Amino acid sequence: MFENYKMIGDAPFLSTDEEVDAAEQQLGIAFPSGYRAYVSTFGEGVLGGCFVRIYPPHRILRDLQMWRERIDAFWLWDDGHDVLTKSDALLSVIIGDTVNGDELVVQPENPERVLVLPRYSEKIFVAGDGLPSAIEWLCDSGELTEPFADRDFEPFTTR
């Protein structure tokens, strides 16, 4: 699934199956395929040199309400209403971001489909079905940044 990803150093902050299960139960959703494998294999850190960050369950639970409040106050994606309306976004769950400020979200009724709320566009992108497809879209599509081949993962050394 993530065969071409290379860990740079040790991953000190891995998520457990129990943490993923508890977050899914508390949120009432299933995370997209590949999420569990990603956070339990790589943990907390940055993929692609310094581009993609997938949030661990504890961060999703801790920050979700604050994220929804920010989205409610500063909705910027009216051009993407055919993909995700503001009211649907307020029920969505953020699962990651890019260092540029683009946000990866899933909806409870279709958690397999990963959407991207870009920082510098009012358009909303469908990054793919499942986390591996979404990550590859982020790295290869050229929509948010120049495409890049780097799949090195650098773990965070502190929380």
Average pLDDT of adjacent 10-residue blocks, the chain of 159 residues: 88 93 97 98 88 96 98 95 96 96 97 97 96 96 92 87
How high is the pLDDT of residue 48?
85
Report pLDDT for 33. 98
Domain that holds residue 34: 6-155
> What pLDDT sits at residue 63?
98
d(CA 66, CA 63): 5
Asked if residue 116 lies in contact with residue 127, where contact means CB atoms within 8 angstroms, the answer is yes
What CATH code is carried by the domain that includes residue 121? 3.40.1580.10
Nearest alpha-carbon partner for 99 in 43, 144, 132: 144
**pTM (predicted TM-score):** 0.94
Burial class (CB in 10 A: 0-12, 13-18, 19+), 109: exposed
Q: How far apart are CA 9 and CA 120, in angstroms?
A: 32
> In whole angstroms, what is the distance from residue 70 CA to residue 101 CA?
13
Residue type, 76: L
Burial 137-155 (b: 16+ CB within 10 A, else e): bbbeeeebeeeeeebebbb
State residue 9's pLDDT score: 84
Does residue 63 lie within any of the structural domains? yes
Q: What is the pLDDT of residue 10?
A: 83
| pLDDT for the residue numbered 68 | 98
pLDDT at 50: 73
Q: Which pLDDT value is given to residue 47?
A: 93
Q: Residue 46: its pLDDT value, please? A: 94
Question: In the chain, how many domains are there?
Answer: 1
Q: Are 10 and 155 in contact, with CB atoms under 8 Å apart?
A: yes
Residue 99 belongs to a domain:
yes
The answer as to whether 17 is a domain residue is yes
Residue 1 lies in a domain: no
Is residue 68 a part of any domain in this protein? yes
